Chains A and B, each alone.
Chain A
Amino acid sequence: MALTEKDVRYVAELAHLELSEAEVHKFLPQLDSILQYVDKLNQLDTSRVDPMAQVTLPATENPSLRLDQPHATFSQDVALANAPERAAGCFKVPRVIERE
């Protein structure tokens, strides 16, 4: 096994996931077997291949930027309608700055 329990915990931390002990032990072998499978990509010599950066082929001239004109958008109420917590017209989050 190439992946370790420590790796799983580290990646969970990066991904902002608080995995339970049970999840760590369930995911470890699953992720490890997927990563081992993915290793087959190393059978290919890609030293002379460019990474794919553009999906749409042919890369036509795409006037993809619209005009930068003001237009109507959501009201504050609509924008906040799905917020789990709101206060004073803002999204409410736990305090991140300590008071003196």
Chain B
Amino acid sequence: MDLTALTITEIRKLLTGKQVSAAELVRAHLANIDQKDKEVRSYLTLSPERALEQAGKIDRMVSADEPLPRLAGVPTAVKDVILTRGVRTTCGSKILENFIPPYDATATARLEAAGACVLGKTNCDEFAMGSSTENSGYFTTRNPHDLTRVPGGSSGGSAAAVAANLATVSLGSDTGGSIRQPAGLCGVVGMMGTYGRVSRFGLVAFASSLDHIGPFGRSVRDVATVLEVIAGADPQDSTCAHVPVPSYEAALDRDVRGLKLGVPKEYFAGLSSEVGDNIQKGIDLLTKLGCQVESISLPHTDYAIACYYIIATAEASANLARYDGVRYGFRSPAYADLRDMYKKTRDQGFGAEVKRRIMLGTHALSSGYYDAYYLKAQKVRSLITRDFVEAFEEVDVIVTPTSPSPAFKLGELVDDPLQMYLADIYTVTADLAGVPGISIPCGKTKGTPPLPIGLQLLGKHFDEERLLQAAHAFERAGGFEIA
């Protein structure tokens, strides 16, 4: 039996049946990482002691026949922008190369309280800024389906780790598509709940009005279980919503007949034909399952990338002001005075994309430009959100491709920031509007090797249940392997 290819449900059965121990599960994953991660390069830092200590606790509970928590013994990876107490957290940035967090993010704490074994921290674009994981200050993660291609980003390490059986589930963060896009490119399930669904306490801030934490898994059920564990109000995060968390697992098996799906025409312009063909097959499958499909319009879609890159960079320029070489992180070794120390520290500590975005955001917020850029973008954001609110008066769930093309080659877009930004064209809208989204596998391309294609479902605010319901029906009907 391959201990690295299991679902949460299977792990639970094996543990309670005393057929496998949590320590064996963790060791099997560490061995797999040792072997395969030389090529995939999904982990930045491993935490074997922490994972094995937690596994020991779970195994003692098993021997004592105590009831096991939801994620007991589940080998889990955490994106390196999410704090783990005592385990180095770099955000993929040299400026935090030696940063050891003194506390856990709420999401990390909730995972571990539910019995998950955290194997380590996964690679990502520096401060989650990127769509390919090539902006990591350390190394580039490769797509497990084709090592010459990107895994997507910014949560590329978390997506690749799950796709390559180097973790059962993982956490990522999504600000403009950073969970859904790599999930699509790596052929796994990735979900972002409604804005405020999951606490961001301990998520290193990139763009606070857009940041989300969410799960990756190889099945919709695994993702539903993790989301249920990490969701819900948190006294440490005043932006985390006080909306009760329903049982997402209970939503999975609800009948999808009569569910109204909207297909926005704006999301089908400019995508590769292979992606278009597969998404159409996916929509046909959902129709066959009894969903009612209708064409809708989200008329401001075309403005989303422009809107996003003003708001996200403006917020980032403010959030990243804290990296000044004083309280934590890197400090330039040679400088003339305090101001010179700030400037040298930041120039030497940040990579090119982070500097570019800080520059863009600082420009957008600077005197004389605020109204033209930031205020304008916030108004357009209202229009984009209104599109969704109006569409959801007609339909329950919106279906789109996750990305316009399958995984691109390493290095292909790295010197063309604008083209790289356009890789997020179908995902940024949900972050701007604050609605939840999930990317699920929808077959592969016909090439050699075949590359995964992602189908995205978007839902109403706080209606994660219907996304999971539709995604699960799709998975059960064989949609993941559609051909």
In the assembled complex, the CB of A13 is this many whole angstroms from the nearest CB of chain B, namely 8
Size bin of chain B's contact surface? 35 or more
The 5 closest A-B pairs by CB, nearest first: A51-B378, A82-B328, A84-B331, A18-B343, A46-B379
In the assembled complex, the CB of B211 is this many whole angstroms from the nearest CB of chain A, namely 10
Q: Which one of B148-156, B223-231, B274-282, B369-377 contacts A?
A: B369-377
Residues of B within 8 A of A12 (CB): 359
- Kindly state whether residue B446 has any CB partner on chain A within 8 Å: no
Residue pair A51, B327 in contact (C-beta under 8 Å):
no
Residue pair B380, A17 in contact (C-beta under 8 Å):
no
Residues of A within 8 A of B324 (CB): 16
Residue pair A62, B195 in contact (C-beta under 8 Å):
no
Which residue in A46, A55, A79, A85 is a CB contact (below 8 Å) of B196? A55
Total A-B contacts with CB atoms under 8 angstroms apart = 167
Residue pair B338, A16 in contact (C-beta under 8 Å):
no
Residue pair B362, A11 in contact (C-beta under 8 Å):
yes
- Kindly state whether residue B389 has any CB partner on chain A within 8 Å: yes
Which residue in A18, A51, A84 is a CB contact (below 8 Å) of B347? A18
A83 and B326 contact, Cβ closer than 8 Å, known pairs A44-B380, A62-B241: yes
- Kindly state whether residue B235 has any CB partner on chain A within 8 Å: yes
Residue pair B300, A44 in contact (C-beta under 8 Å):
yes
Q: Known contacts A66-B238, A78-B102; can you find 14 more A-B pairs with CB under 8 A?
A: A11-B359, A14-B366, A33-B418, A34-B417, A35-B363, A42-B376, A46-B376, A49-B382, A58-B461, A60-B243, A62-B238, A63-B242, A65-B238, A94-B337
Interface residues as binary, A48-65 with B (CB distance below 8 Å gives 1, 0 otherwise): 011111011110101111
Residue on A with the closest CB to B341?
Answer: A94
- Kindly state whether residue A1 has any CB partner on chain B within 8 Å: no
Which residue in B309, B358, B383 is a CB contact (below 8 Å) of A17? B358
A55 and B383 contact, Cβ closer than 8 Å, known pairs A17-B359, A31-B360: no
Which residue in B98, B209, B377 is a CB contact (below 8 Å) of A41? B377
Residues of B within 8 A of A26 (CB): 352
Residue pair B309, A34 in contact (C-beta under 8 Å):
yes
Residue pair A60, B241 in contact (C-beta under 8 Å):
yes
A55 and B195 contact, Cβ closer than 8 Å, known pairs A17-B358, A18-B343: yes
- Kindly state whether residue A88 has any CB partner on chain B within 8 Å: no
Residue pair B209, A11 in contact (C-beta under 8 Å):
no
Residue on B with the closest CB to A80?
Answer: B327
The interface on chain A, measured as residues whose beta carbon lies within 8 A of the other chain's beta carbons, has a size of: 56
Residue pair A34, B326 in contact (C-beta under 8 Å):
no
Residue pair B306, A18 in contact (C-beta under 8 Å):
no
Bound CA span A40–B50, Å = 50
Bound CA span A42–B344, Å = 36
- Kindly state whether residue B408 has any CB partner on chain A within 8 Å: no
Residue on A with the closest CB to B384?
Answer: A52
Residue pair B303, A81 in contact (C-beta under 8 Å):
no
Which residue in B338, B340, B358 is a CB contact (below 8 Å) of A15? B358
- Kindly state whether residue B194 has any CB partner on chain A within 8 Å: yes
Residues of B within 8 A of A93 (CB): 326, 338, 341
Bound CA span A60–B426, Å = 28
7 A-B residue pairings within 8 Å (CB atoms): A31-B363, A41-B310, A41-B376, A52-B378, A52-B382, A55-B196, A55-B209
Of B309, B350, B360, the most chain A CB neighbours within 10 A belong to B360
Residue pair A79, B102 in contact (C-beta under 8 Å):
yes
In the assembled complex, the CB of B400 is this many whole angstroms from the nearest CB of chain A, namely 20
Interface residues as binary, B345-366 with A (CB distance below 8 Å gives 1, 0 otherwise): 0110010100110111011001
Residues of B within 8 A of A8 (CB): 359
In the assembled complex, the CB of A20 is this many whole angstroms from the nearest CB of chain B, namely 7
Residues of A within 8 A of B317 (CB): 15
